[in-house]
Amino acid sequence: MSTLKYADIRPWLSIGNREICTEEKFKQSACIHIYREDMPHYTCPFADHKEDYRFAYKDGEGLDNSSLQILKEEILGLVESCNHLIVHCHAGQTRSPLIGLFVLTIIENKHPFELLPDLYKNIWQGYHVMPNISLTPLIDIVNWFEQGK
């Protein structure tokens, strides 16, 4: 078992690794569990909670508009149904910061580049890693936002 890594990005949003699901303070939170289909042993054992959403995503993959639209609808449903949302992947360094950025973009309706500095700062303060957001999916999110989706 790895060490818990998480950061509070907003009072209603936390990002981290899969150990976040073991924390008592997050037991009532809705969650986006990001997993890799090619690595099932990395899947969170808590991913079957009724309020949660499982999102299959491999590091660095592009995110087309239809995938982002589906993810947006899931995020909006989760945010409406809970007071707190957690987003996690296995290590909390690449995929969860990316999807956390997308959550912020949707909820705050701000350009992803406006939100990146705050996201990076909060993750650094939370668990002392520099997020490794891949360029291709970041560009996909920026294009999606700029197209007014």
Per residue in 97-126, pLDDT (tens digit) is: 999 999 999 999 999 999 999 999 999 999
Residue type, 29: S
- Of 45-49, 53-57, 71-75, 109-113, the poorest mean pLDDT is in 45-49
H/E segment holding residue 54: strand 53-56
Who has greater pLDDT, 16 or 149?
A: 16
Q: In what order do the strands lie in the sheet with 30-35?
A: 6-10, 13-16, 85-88, 30-35, 53-56
Please enumerate in sequence order all residues whose Cβ is within 8 A of that of 66, keeping only pairs 6 or more positions apart, or say none. Answer: none
Mean pLDDT, range 52-60, rounded to an integer: 83
Q: Confidence band (pLDDT; 50, 70, 90) for 51?
A: low
Residue type, 99: I
Mean pLDDT, range 125-140, rounded to an integer: 94
